[in-house]
Structure 1
Amino acid sequence: MPRFAANLSMLYPELPFLDRFEAAAKDGFEAVEYLFPYAYPAEELVARLKAHGLRQVLFNAPPAGTDAASIDAAWAAGLRGTASLPGREDEFRAGVQLALRYAAALDCPRIHCMAGLLDEGADREVARAVYVSNLRWAAAEAAREGRDILIEPINPRDIPRFFLKRQDEAHAIVQEVGAPSLKVQFDLYHCQIVEGDVATKIRQYLPTGRVGHFQIAGVPERHEPDTGELNYPYLFSVIDEVAAQCGWQGWVGCEYRPREGAQPGGTTRGLAWLRQWRTVHAPAS
C-alpha cells in the first residue's frame, strides 16, 4: 500500500501553517511535505513533527534568495528556482547549503531543487550545462549528509517557461550526472498534463532506482485524486505492484488543492478517497 504524505502548503488552507501538522496527524498521515521551511526556526518545526508523531519527507530548496526574507520575496516575485540559471551559481549553492542545514535538523531525506524559468531567447544548451553542473555539485554535497536531491518536471500550464517539463528529460539528466543521490520527483499530475501514459512511465522508471518520490493531484483541476481524467486507484495499484518487485519504499505526496478550498474541515472531508483506500487495502488481521 502506498505511503501518503500530506502536503501542508496546499492541504488545510483554513489553518495557520503550524497548526496543519496536528490536522494532518488527526487524519492519519504519518508524514508531511511542503514547499519551504525557511520562514520558521527549524526547532519550531521539529517540535511540531515530534508532538504529532510525523516524519518530514520532502521540502524545496529556496526558489532564489539566501535568507527567509529574500526567499519569501523571490517566491512572491515568481522566481521558481536557480538551478539552471547562468550567473546565479553562488546563490544556488548558498540555497542548497541552507536547505541541507534544515534537512539535518528535520531529519528530512529529500530536497527538491527547482530548475528555474528559461527566459525567452535564452540558450537552452547553456542553461542545461549550468543545470547539470549545479546538480552534480548539489548531489555530492547531499550525499555527504546522507540526503537526496530531487528534480521535478513541471507542466508549462502551471509554470510557464519552467526549464524541466518531461520525465525522459529528467531521467536523462540524472543519468548524465551519475550520482546515486540525485533522483526524480515524479508528479503524476504534471506528467499527465505534459505527456500522459502515466502507468507505463511508472513501470518504466520506478525499477531504475531513479525515482525518489511521487506526488498526486486530480487532472485538470488539481483537486483531490478522486476526480478528473486519471484513474488513481489503478495507478496506486501499479505503484504497489512495481514497488514490491523492485523494493521501492518511498512516499506519495498529496500535493493538491482541496475541492472545498479553505472551508473549515474541507480537507478532511475531501480525504474520503484515502479513507476508502485504507479500508480496502488494510492488512488482514
Structure 2
Amino acid sequence: MRAPNGLRFDANLKWLFTEVPFEERFDAAAAAGFTGVEYADPYPYPAARLRRRLDDAGLHQVLINAPTGEPGSAERAGVACLPGRAGGFRGDLERGLDYAAELGSDFLHVLGGIRPPDVSHDRAFATFVTNLAWAVERARGTGVCLVLEAQNGRDVPGFLLDTQARAAAVVEALGGDGIGLLLDLYHVQVQEGDLVTTLREHLPRVRHLQIADPPDRTEPGSGEISWQRVFGTLLDASYLGWIGCEYRPANGTVNGLSWVGRHCGAAASPAEARR
C-alpha cells in the first residue's frame, strides 16, 4: 500500500484481516490495497502453497521469521542465544532460508531468543553473535537479508536484544553486509521512548520497519505516538523501505485503515515544516 506521502506499507497477516482464515487473508490484503505482506510463521503450510497464494493475489513477500519453538516453551523466541544449541539454530536457519527463497521474501528475521536465568548475559550474547556470524555467511549470495529486532521487556521478558543499541552493536560487529535492523516502533516506544531520536540514530542500519501504537498495540492514531512527526522523520531521511503493519486493529481491519489518510495524507518532513 503506497500512502499519499509516498511511504510504503505492508500487511502483517498474523495481526491484520483476522476476520477470515489465514489463507484467505492474502486476497483480503490485496483487496484493501496492499501489495506486500509479512507474517512470522509460514511453517505450518507448504511453501509452494503459500507461493500460490501470493501469486494469485499479486502480492510480494516482504518478511518471515526463522522457525522458533512452541508458545510457552524456552525456545519460543528461538535458540540463537542458548549455549549448546548451535545445531538446532543452524537447522532452523536453513529451513528459514529455504522458505524465504521459495516465497521470494526480502528478509528473514532471526530472533534473539530469551536468556535462561542460569546463563549470564555475556555468555548468551557471545553465543548469539557466534551463531549470527555463521548465519550471515550461510545467507550470503541468497538474496535474503537477515534482520534483528529489539523487543521490549514488558511483552517479552528476558529477550536478549532489549535495546536498539544492543541489536545495532551486533549488526556493526558483523559488518552490516547482508544483515540489518528490523526496527519496531512499538517496541522502541515501550522500552526506551525518545522515539524520533532513536529512529534518526539507527535509520542507517534499518532494513525494515514495523508499526503499532502503544499502549494497546493497536493502529496508528489510537495511542500515544505522534505519527505525523514519525512519518515526517522518515520522509526527511528519504526512507524507501517497507513498513510492516504489525498491530491489533481496534475495530476491524478495513475500518481501521483510515489512519493511512489521516496520518500520511499531509505528513510533512521536519525540514519542510521548518520552511
Please report the TM-score for the alignment, with normalisation by the length of structure 2.
0.91
Task: Give the Å deviation of 1:275.
Answer: 3.7
**Aligned-partner Cα distance in 2 for 1:101–1:172:** 27
1:231 aligned onto 2:222: no
Task: Give the Å deviation of 1:192.
Answer: 0.5
Task: Give the Å deviation of 1:131.
Answer: 0.5
Provide the residue aligned with 1:113 in structure 2: 110
3-state SS of the aligned residue for 2:210? strand
3-state SS of the aligned residue for 2:63? strand
1:48 aligned onto 2:44: no
Conserved 8 A contact 1:61-1:96: yes
Task: Give the Å deviation of 1:32.
Answer: 0.4
3-state SS of the aligned residue for 2:27? helix
1:32 to 14, 34, 37: 37
**Aligned-partner Cα distance in 1 for 2:163–2:17:** 30
Task: Give the Å deviation of 1:77.
Answer: 3.4
Task: Give the Å deviation of 1:137.
Answer: 0.9
Superimposed CA distance per residue, residues 203-242 of structure 1 (whole angstroms, 9 cap, x where no aligned partner): 1121x3x211100001111011112110112201111110
Runs (5+) with no aligned partner, structure 2: 1-5, 268-275
1:236 partner amino acid? F
Provide the residue aligned with 1:71 in structure 2: none
Task: Give the Å deviation of 1:75.
Answer: 3.1
Alignment of 1:147-226 (within 5 A): 147-206=144-203, 208=204, 210-226=205-221
Task: Give the Å deviation of 1:76.
Answer: 5.3
2:62 to 57, 63, 67: 57
Fraction of identical pairs, as percent? 41
Runs (5+) with no aligned partner, structure 1: 65-73, 261-265
Task: Give the Å deviation of 1:249.
Answer: 2.5
Conserved 8 A contact 1:31-1:54: yes
Please report the TM-score for the alignment, with normalisation by the length of structure 1.
0.88
2:27 to 11, 22, 25: 22
1:256 aligned onto 2:242: no
**Aligned-partner Cα distance in 1 for 2:234–2:264:** 15
1:75 aligned onto 2:66: no
**Aligned-partner Cα distance in 1 for 2:51–2:261:** 27
**Aligned-partner Cα distance in 1 for 2:265–2:223:** 22
Conserved 8 A contact 1:136-1:179: no
CA RMSD of aligned residues (A): 1.4
Task: Give the Å deviation of 1:199.
Answer: 0.9
Superimposed CA distance per residue, residues 222-273 of structure 1 (whole angstroms, 9 cap, x where no aligned partner): 011112110112201111110x2xxx4211000011113xxxxx11001110
Task: Give the Å deviation of 1:277.
Answer: 4.6
Superimposed CA distance per residue, residues 10-66 of structure 1 (whole angstroms, 9 cap, x where no aligned partner): 1111210000011111111110000111111111111111111110000100113xx
Aligned length: 261
